Chain A
Amino acid sequence: MKYLSFSFLGALLLFSCEESVPHTFPIIGVPQITESGDTIPHQIGGFSFIDQNGAPVTQATVEGKIYIADFFFTRCPDICPMMSKNLLKVEEAFGTQNDFLILSHSLDPLFDTSEELSRYKRDLGARSNNWYFLTTPDEDYVYEVMMDDYLLSGSATGALNGGIFHTGKLVLVDQNHHIRGYYEGTDPLDVDRLIEDIPLLMAEMKQKGTE
């Protein structure tokens, strides 16, 4: 009986330990090392896009927020509808929270004008003001941002996939512009994992903020 209660206590302890250990997310990317020897983790640099309403979206828009970035285009014949469908679940979970955003960048920005993106957002049924669909007058720019900042591969020269080759990854970015995770946007289970991770990352950021 004694042993039993001890092991019960042990189990309880274990349980409570597990709960108080914060879920830690890696900071992804190759850090830079300064001349003085400090390491600076990889960050998303400043950016400038135009949203579905024709308004500018820059780093100032995401200041102090956690956000998801993804890359798609409205004429995409294969993976994008599934990504959009899965992102609707994320919107449903967090779309009304003011410390959270989704940035969906078009990889076909000359066709996907603000008007086209606005139509896409409406027809998809996305309603949150926190979900931005982004375009740019400079086609190469979005590919640079995707590769250099978000560390994803893709090109506009592929013969497959409607002429644009890209990944369906969703990138989770924290308030300090650090990449904290990649999720497969076409996989409903991985998107469920993302939906579980977002509050954990928010909690981590809050904890850090008060330190």
Chain B
Amino acid sequence: MKFKGIPTWVWYTWPLLLMAIFFLVTQGGGEVASNAGKRLYEQHCQSCHMPDGMGLGKLIPPLAGADYVLQGGPELACVLRYGLTDTILVNGEFYSRPMAGLPKLPAVEVRSILLYIRSAWGNSAPEISFDEVQAALNDCAPTE
């Protein structure tokens, strides 16, 4: 019966308000995720792949403008968690030094970093959902 005190205009506009709040939260959420991705990148990746994502000579491949990152999909999550030991081809150059993985990095953080490296430095690759990251990580988990 308390509802009686609420003016009628509120009753008509609350869906609008709700939409506004939803909009703010999701946009803000995206912002938070990419900030987290940047911070995690600085912490775990920047020393090798450099602040500008350009890597170093033929020692460390670039992430900025890299076909490997732009054309890759959720399976990139496996590179972050388990590293790479093969010889790989990035933008027409071979790289063969091993990269160590971060086996303890939770899937949420793996996703944050992926979103960051796929959208920073002028990169624009499609977003990858949490479920896709999780599925890829399950697929590449070493069998015990």
**A131 vs B57: C-alpha distance in the bound complex, in angstroms?**
16
**Cross-chain contact B58 with A82 (CB below 8 angstroms):** no
Pick from B50, B97, B100: contact of A85, CB below 8 A: B50
Does any Cβ of B come within 8 Å of A77's Cβ? yes
Q: C-beta contact mask, A65-87 vs B, less than 8 Å → 1, else 0?
A: 00000000000011101101100
Q: C-beta contact mask, A40-81 vs B, less than 8 Å → 1, else 0?
A: 000000000000000000000000000000000000011101
Provide the main secondary structure of the chain B interface.
loop
**Cross-chain contact A78 with B47 (CB below 8 angstroms):** yes
Does any Cβ of A come within 8 Å of B59's Cβ? yes
**A82 vs B50: C-alpha distance in the bound complex, in angstroms?**
7
**A77 vs B43: C-alpha distance in the bound complex, in angstroms?**
12
**Interface residues of A, Cβ cutoff 8 Å to B:** 77-79, 81-82, 84-85, 120, 122-125
**A85 vs B60: C-alpha distance in the bound complex, in angstroms?**
11
**Cross-chain contact A120 with B47 (CB below 8 angstroms):** no
Pick from A81, A123, A125: contact of B50, CB below 8 A: A81
- Chain B: number of interface residues, binned into ranges: 10 to 19
Other 8 A-B pairs with CB < 8 A, given A82-B50, A124-B56, A125-B57: A77-B100, A82-B47, A84-B59, A85-B56, A123-B59, A123-B97, A124-B59, A125-B58
Minimum distance in angstroms from A134 CB to a CB of chain B: 18
**Interface residues of B, Cβ cutoff 8 Å to A:** 47-48, 50, 56-60, 97, 100
Minimum distance in angstroms from B114 CB to a CB of chain A: 20
**Cross-chain contact A81 with B48 (CB below 8 angstroms):** yes
Provide the main secondary structure of the chain A interface.
helix
Measured between beta carbons, the chain A residues less than 8 angstroms from B56 are 81, 84-85, 124
Residue among B50, B56, B60 with max Cβ neighbours from chain A (10 Å)? B56
Which residue of the partner chain B has the closest CB to A124? B57
Which residue of the partner chain A has the closest CB to B49? A81
Minimum distance in angstroms from B87 CB to a CB of chain A: 13
29 contacts between A and B (CB under 8 A): A77-B47, A77-B48, A77-B100, A78-B47, A79-B47, A81-B47, A81-B48, A81-B50, A81-B56, A81-B59, A81-B60, A82-B47, A82-B50, A84-B56, A84-B59, A85-B50, A85-B56, A120-B59, A122-B58, A123-B57, A123-B58, A123-B59, A123-B97, A124-B56, A124-B57, A124-B58, A124-B59, A125-B57, A125-B58
Minimum distance in angstroms from A156 CB to a CB of chain B: 19
Minimum distance in angstroms from B92 CB to a CB of chain A: 15
Minimum distance in angstroms from B57 CB to a CB of chain A: 4
Residue among B58, B59, B60, B97 with max Cβ neighbours from chain A (10 Å)? B59
Measured between beta carbons, the chain A residues less than 8 angstroms from B97 are 123
Measured between beta carbons, the chain B residues less than 8 angstroms from A122 are 58
